[in-house]
Amino acid sequence: MKTWTKIVSCLVILSVLLAPAALADLKRGDQSAEVEQLQRLLFECGWLFEIPDGQFGRNTEQAVKDYEAYAGLPADGVADDVMIDSLTNDWYRMFAESDADADGGNADLTPYFCHHWTQADGNSHIDYCETHMAMYDQAAQLMSTGDPDDAKQACALWQSEIDRLYDQWIERSDESVRASIAAGQALFMSAAEAHCAAIDGWYATFQSPPSAAETQYALELHLREHAAWLCAMLSGSLVQYGVEG
């Protein structure tokens, strides 16, 4: 079975193998096939939040700076050989090795950003990133106690993370769309808080209501998936691809 990950992996591997010998000293203002290759690596690894177009603009420069800071390199926004070699190695860790997982390889490998895609039959699939996998484990432990207060704490964990991701989305966006994103953020968070507040009141209206922990779990699952959706959207890993048999 072939998924979008394998399709994208093959395409990017080919682009890397067919690349010129060096992609050195690419900087803001450059426009070339080499810039597009750099952008593709940044995009696939979750550092660039727009489709590669071969033009080294403000967003590409910021993505390079972010990656350089992450990798412990001078964050000057200039992509030199050292930076590109490091980024390429990270790409192989995320994508080339992910195919080995499907064949029983390194099961502990997790991506840097969540991957969320929808298959042709309408089913969706999520691979949680390292950060969200740790949060998933923490929330699951809280949910397993059966204590409503612990369940609420698990929900609050994801609410805080969703707020952070929305803030990052706003920070990365043009001024013209920030207000609409902030409005969406406020609407979602208000709905989640109202849902939490309503849970305790439900027990007066049912003869055999679900437990508070069970009800909170349904909300926590929704929050968890929304956080993964935001993470995937910000990293460019929110994709619709069919699955080919």
What pLDDT shows up at residue 186? 93
Q: Could you list the pLDDT tens digit for every one of the 245 residues in the chain?
A: 334 343 344 444 434 433 443 446 899 999 998 998 898 888 777 788 777 889 999 889 988 998 998 889 999 999 998 999 888 888 777 665 544 444 444 444 566 778 776 666 667 778 788 889 999 999 999 988 878 888 889 999 999 999 999 998 898 888 889 999 999 999 999 988 888 777 766 655 555 556 777 778 888 888 998 999 888 888 766 654 433 32
- The amino acid present at 111, given as its one-letter code, is P
pLDDT attached to residue 209: 57
Token match 């990950």: residue? 5
What token pair was written down for 41?
A: 């690596």
CB contact at 8 A, 241 and 119: yes
Q: Which pTM value belongs to this model? A: 0.57
pLDDT of residue 83: 92
- Cα dihedral 98/104/109/114 (nearest 10): 60
Output the CA torsion sign for 209, 213, 216, 218: negative
Cα 160 from Cα 155, distance rounded (Å):
9
Structure tokens belonging to residue 100: 């080995």
Amino acid letter for position 117: W
At residue 138, the pLDDT reads 94
Give the C-alpha separation, 243 to 202, whole Å: 41
Strand order through the sheet with 124-127: 124-127, 115-118, 238-240
